[in-house]
Amino acid sequence: MTDDIAVLGAGMHPWGKWGRNFVEYGLAAARAALADAGLSWPDVQYVAGADTIRNGYPGFIAGATFAQALGWSGARVSSSYAACASGAQAIGNARAQILAGLCDVALVVGADAAPKGFFKPVGGDRPDDPDWLRFRLLGATNPIYFALAARRRMALHGATLDDFAAVKVKNARHGLSNPNARYRKEVTAEDVRESAVVADPLRLLDICATSDGGAAIVLTSMDFARRHGVTDPVRIPALSTVTPTFPKTVIDLPDFATDSAMTVPPPDVPFRSALPQAAYEEAGIGPEDLSVAEVYDLSTALELDWYEDIGLCEVGGAEDLLRSGATAIGGRIPVNPSGGLACFGEAIPAQAIAQVCELTWQLRGQAEGRQVENARTGIAVNQGLFGHGSAIITVR
């Protein structure tokens, strides 16, 4: 495939609540990725930073912030903010530079130092900001949104609290041996059911935490990889960041209502399904070719939605797929072998990059204790605010 790029290095700073500057987490991840690639900082020609808006000006210019921390070297930089898809857009920027022949080696870095509790609006009065308004007018925190989506799934497809709990049980078991995971403890369905109600029907253990963490990958051209002696690297043949198609008939915060479908029929492919579909088309594969998937499980209920969105089953079939064991390690198509957000929590700018780190280790056969057997093709998907989202295909 002429549009392939190589993932030569992957590195992470463990997720947790460390109480330090986000730059430290990004630096640790970057250095780990460079070491994994067998390269040094002066080899990097382009730095793509994924932005965090909670850390002042350095967070808004993450590419330059990380480049300065590593030591000014003359490398070109870019910075991307796209909510939960920030890391994917940073990867997309680096990929474009490589495919355009503008550089051979790119470093992609994302890191965050998140607040305790759920995310809140950035300070100040901004009555023209829909994200500020959804907090101030509706009190619609992220858990409210997750709960509305869970209620929708229960109403449309008959999902139960036991189904949601089973997702958490699976992901907690997957994350037990992941050294980068924040939560490494097995839980039972009873533990989930008995945890505090946060936004009915979701319990505390149904919802991901907010975390500190960092992730980085080193991307290169295929020619550079071969010159460097890597003849069979993990590759990225496709990356999708498509936006919704009007009318968008399912509410996503910060929107308060859907687009009208009274005179225009809904699109054939809804937003979240369009993200992987575009990536499949670019890569020339389909969901039947997948070995492993990393999906953005902001809540246990949302993981079930993703099963359908990425084509693992028909609409309404996610619960049966889960119950069959197909999405657990050892099953037909393991989902979130890393442990997912259930075990990591959100470090928003790092998350899409961390998903590619996990897929890289899976496809190399290096995911000790959580390895998916014969993993050859993976997908990482997530969705952020304001019509942002991404799907990334990795192959080997």
Does residue 124 sit within a domain? no
Residue 62 belongs to domain spanning:
5-117+213-235
Q: Tell me the two tokens of residue 158.
A: 């008959």
Same domain, 75 and 222: yes
The length of the chain is 396
Same domain, 35 and 158: no
Same domain, 254 and 374: yes
Please state, in angstroms and as integers, the Cα–Cα distance from residue 250 to each residue in 95, 158, 272, following that order. 31, 18, 10
Q: How many angstroms separate the CA atoms of 215 and 156, rounded?
A: 37
SS3 letters across the chain: CCCCEEEEEEEEEEEECCCCCHHHHHHHHHHHHHHHHCCCHHHCCEEEEECCCCCHHHHHCHHHHHHHHHCCCCCEEEEECECECHHHHHHHHHHHHHHCCCCCEEEEEEEECCCCCCCCCCCCCCCCCHHHHHHHCCCCCHHHHHHHHHHHHHHHHCCCHHHHHHHHHHHHHHHCCCCCCCCCCCCCHHHHHHCCEEECCEEHHHECCECEEEEEEEEECHHHHHHCCCCCCEEEEEEECCCCCCCCCCCCCCCCCCCCCCCCCCCCCCHHHHHHHHHHHHHCCCHHHCCEEEECCCEHHHHHHHHHHCCCCCCCCHHHHHHCCCCCCCCCCCECCCCHHHHHCECHHHHHHHHHHHHHHHHHCCCCCCCCCCCCEEEEEEECCCCCEEEEEEEC
Query: Which residue, 108, 36, 47, is CA-closest to 354?
Result: 108
Same domain, 45 and 143: no
State the first-to-last Cα distance of the chain, in angstroms, to the nearest integer. Answer: 12
Same domain, 371 and 282: yes
For residue 275, the domain's CATH number is: 3.40.47.10
Amino acid at site 199: A
pLDDT score for 2 = 61
Same domain, 96 and 149: no
What is the dihedral angle through the alpha carbons of 39, 40, 44, 49, rounded to the nearest 10 degrees? 100
Q: How many angstroms separate the CA atoms of 381 and 292, rounded?
A: 12
Number of other residues whose CB lies within 10 A of the CB of residue 22: 28
Same domain, 279 and 219: no
Does residue 123 sit within a domain? no
Same domain, 286 and 347: yes
Contact 54, 112 (CB under 8 A): yes
Same domain, 290 and 228: no
Please state, in angstroms and as integers, the Cα–Cα distance from residue 153 to each residue in 53, 201, 272, 396, following that order. 31, 11, 15, 35
Q: How many angstroms separate the CA atoms of 205 and 189, rounded?
A: 10
Q: How many angstroms separate the CA atoms of 233 and 94, rounded?
A: 17
Does residue 9 sit within a domain? yes
Same domain, 145 and 293: yes
Domains identified in the chain, total number: 2
pLDDT score for 296 = 96
Does residue 151 sit within a domain? yes
Q: What is the pLDDT along the chain (396 residues), one digit of tens a residue?
A: 468 999 999 999 999 999 999 999 999 999 999 999 999 999 999 999 999 988 889 999 999 999 999 999 999 999 999 999 999 999 999 999 999 999 999 999 999 999 888 888 877 888 999 889 988 888 889 999 899 999 999 999 999 999 999 999 999 999 999 999 999 999 999 999 999 999 999 999 999 999 999 999 999 999 999 999 999 999 999 999 999 999 998 888 888 888 888 888 999 999 999 999 999 999 999 999 999 999 999 999 999 999 999 999 999 999 999 999 999 999 999 999 999 999 999 999 999 999 999 999 999 999 999 999 999 999 999 998 889 999 999 999
Q: Tell me the two tokens of residue 309.
A: 């969105």
Contact 235, 367 (CB under 8 A): no
Q: Tell me the two tokens of residue 381.
A: 């998907």
Does residue 50 sit within a domain? yes
Does residue 389 sit within a domain? yes
Does residue 122 sit within a domain? no
Does residue 102 sit within a domain? yes
Same domain, 95 and 184: no
Same domain, 84 and 134: no
pLDDT score for 1 = 46
